Amino acid sequence: MLCGRVLAEGENCDEQMKNLQICSQCLCRISVRPEEERFFTCLSDPYEGDPIPDFAVWALLRYEMPVTKLLRNLKFQSWLYAGKLLGHLIAREFPDDLPVRWDAVIPVPLSRQRMRKRGYNQASVLGAELAEKLGIPLLEEALVRTRNTHQQSRYSDPVQRSENVESAFAVEEAWDIKGWNILLVDDILTTGATLHEAARVLYEAGASCVTGVVAATHRGKEDGNVHPASSKQRKN
């Protein structure tokens, strides 16, 4: 998948990875965050009046090579097998001893325009195996984009990123999520603006607990050790 070498028959790092098109050497290059650093607060500097200042996010990987290559090619080059690999790792490593019973996995949605162009939502690809592992539905239509937004990568300033996604999400009227515990999935967390805005909308629609799940982040160990139950704090 990464080095371009053809795998020998039966070659892989472990039995669970045998169908994921990655050799042992490439798999071992993927940098996994220590368990104690995987939960952290979405916004490292919550704004005054933030309705969910303690919204917790779980991230498995460090956003560095080769993870950057996998995620960029998943998003822009239709490397769906990269999404399957990363989704498998997320599902395998996500803790199963949390004091929360999850009701659904919801991917951060694309705009209709971007969805038509790309043909798939990378967040859905990443969240599919997590939903299967937990035995809960992957709801791709419950949360929608209400308008087109620019790519967040165009902005380096956190304020600009927040403004870009402000009021960009809504819960479809057909879905009643009151009292639900939701895992909100995206590919990458940079400043946290996109995930935070999507979570805010889910809370306003009545969700009881929303916890973010991303494949990777550049955030460091100083952001770790946030208990996911803290994400139950929400705007009243």
> Could you read off the pLDDT of 194-212 as tens digits, one per residue?
999 999 999 999 999 999 9
Of the candidate ranges 4-8, 10-14, 207-211, the one whose mean pLDDT is the lowest: 4-8
Asked if 83 and 126 count as a contact pair (C-beta separation under 8 A), the reply is: yes
Q: Where are the domains of the chain?
A: 1-30, 31-232
Asked if 233 and 206 count as a contact pair (C-beta separation under 8 A), the reply is: no
Which residues lie across from 58 on neighbouring strands? 39, 213
Residue 36 above 80 pLDDT? Answer: yes
Count Cα neighbours of 172 within 13 Å in the Cβ-side half-sphere: 11
The pLDDT, as a whole number, for residue 226 is 74
Which is higher by pLDDT, 12 or 130? 130
Q: How far is CA 182 from the centre of its chain?
A: 12
Q: What pTM value is reported for the model?
A: 0.86
Of the candidate ranges 106-110, 215-219, 223-227, the one whose mean pLDDT is the lowest: 223-227
Which is higher by pLDDT, 12 or 199? 199
The pLDDT, as a whole number, for residue 123 is 97
Supply the mean pLDDT for the chain: 85
Q: What is the mean pLDDT of residues 176-190?
A: 97
Topology of domain 31-232 in CATH is Rossmann fold (3.40.50)
